[in-house]
Chains A and B, each alone.
Chain A
Amino acid sequence: MSQRRFIASILCSCFLLLSLMPLNLLAAEVGPRQQLEISINRLLDVLRDESLKGEEKKELRREHIAEVVFLQFDMRQMAKLSLGRDWNDLSEAECRRFTELFKALLKESYVATIDGYANEKISYVKEIINGSKAEVQTKVISPSREIPLSYKLLEDAGRWLVYDVIIENVSLVRNYRSQFGPIMRKDGFTGLLAQMEKKIAQAGEKKDG
């Protein structure tokens, strides 16, 4: 067999085999960036929804934002990393309670922050994939400035879920860990839960008042 024919048959076989590849293998190739983009586009739809605009519809709008955004978040992992190694000593019920309160806190800070991004444009800067971890860097562009916003994601059975958000170089998880650490050492886990509950109640009062 001539060399040219040999190469041709290899190429031919490769092509045939690739075309026979099961479709789900290709579907798994939908990377972190694309999955995140779908979630962000849904968020932008909510932010730009005329029926949800205005100060008086703030509560309803933020409910919608939280629903869309948290779908792409691995809340338990976020809560876990924010608490640090003390997580390993918690019972399952305590883990759940902590995650629940952590989610409520994020609703106050993170959801409120992105609620202001209605007129901004999002540009995707970079996607870094390292095994089952990834970082997607974006920029929130408004007429007066640019805010760098990155997401850290973890793969779980083909689904990429966010476990940290970095706004203007500040990691949310790191920021919470720096707060939780000293409180855990001083007041213990029960003390931390009490302070979280107090903060959430305070934010609730402000809304009613």
Chain B
Amino acid sequence: MRNVRLNREFLVVFILTGILVFAAFLFVPQNCRAETALTNAHQDEFSEYDEKVEGSLDDPLEIFNRAIFTFNDRLHRWVVEPTARGYRKVTPSMFRTGLLNFFNNLLEPTRIINLLLQGRFKAAEETFLRFLLNTTAGVGGLMDPAGFDGMKSHERQFASTLATYGCGRGFYLVLPFFGPNDLRGTCGLAGDTLTSPLFYTLSHDPLAAVGVQASNAINRTSFQLGEYEKMLSGAIDPYVAVRDAYRQHQQKLLGR
């Protein structure tokens, strides 16, 4: 008799659990759907891509900017890219990587100062150790032994320091040679230059400074040949495409 009673109880529990499990599968997803439908009621599917006010960047100097953009564009397509292509053919990749590391290492003092100004002491310490190790064991920054040790570089420049102190972005500005920027970034560039070791070694010889910057640019381009052209090959208005890419990129960087 006891067995029969047990079986019946088991059957009741079995059916109840079954109902519950199916109810969960049937109702939970529907509830979620209903909820999302409700929250989306006041906006449509295009809202995801509506320009957010905080992220927008005015372009009052568009006519001026477009002219500089055209200049930079021609400079890149006709001079920098072909030179970098030829340079890549005749230069061993080890040399190019070395030069890339060297110039990157020279940016570390700027990064350290800005990390300190932003109160990010842990990251500043890591960057400082990186700079120390790469300058000594990495032969003046040509190699990147710190990178092998997993020490990360923290990208911080004066523009982001100005941002942490509440300085607005101003407006969009295309700089000759340097490319897309904004007012705040342009001010930041001055600070970056003043903290660069290159500035102090080359300030007495402007021609050499230009030469060094140019070789840096060409070396850098040799790692991304054809990328600029590919990026813009599907753009209806390349000027707007680059401006928007700059905005989106900055939003992400500064949003963190």
Contact = CB atoms under 8 A, between A and B. Distances in A.
B97 A10 contact: no
Nearest to A199: B236
Contacts of B240: 178-179, 182
Given A17-B18, A144-B97, A131 B248 contact: no
Contact of A195 (B18, B32, B236, B249): B236
Contacts of A10: 13, 17
Contact of A182 (B46, B226, B237, B253): B237
Contacts of A18: 21
B13 A17 contact: no
Interface residues of B, number: 41
B13 A179 contact: no
Contacts, number: 111
B53 interface: no
A106 B236 CA distance: 11
Interface string A85-103: 1010000000000000000
A145 B44 CA distance: 38
A9 B243 CA distance: 64
Interface in A160-202: 168-171, 173-175, 177-180, 182-183, 192, 195-196, 199
Contact of B235 (A1, A109, A182): A109
A157 interface: no
A105 B32 CA distance: 37
A16 interface: yes
Contacts of A110: 234
Nearest to B29: A131
A177 B49 contact: yes
B248 A169 contact: yes
Contacts of B205: none
B122 interface: no
Nearest to B239: A179
Interface string A31-73: 0000000000000000000000000000000000000000000
Nearest to A171: B248
B14 A13 contact: yes
B91 interface: no
B61 to A, nearest CB: 16
A109 B13 contact: no
A80 to B, nearest CB: 8
A174 B46 contact: no
Given A85-B46, A174-B49, A183 B17 contact: no
B48 interface: yes
B82 to A, nearest CB: 16
Nearest to B234: A109
A97 B241 CA distance: 22
Contact of A109 (B49, B230, B237): B230
B223 interface: yes
Nearest to A200: B234
A112 to B, nearest CB: 4
A129 to B, nearest CB: 11
A113 interface: yes
Contacts of A203: 233-234
Given A9-B9, A12-B14, A175-B241, 5 more contacts: A105-B236, A109-B233, A178-B241, A179-B235, A179-B237
Interface of B: 6, 9-10, 13-14, 17-18, 21, 25, 32-33, 36, 44-46, 48-49, 51, 97, 100, 223, 226-227, 230-237, 240-241, 243-245, 248-249, 251-253
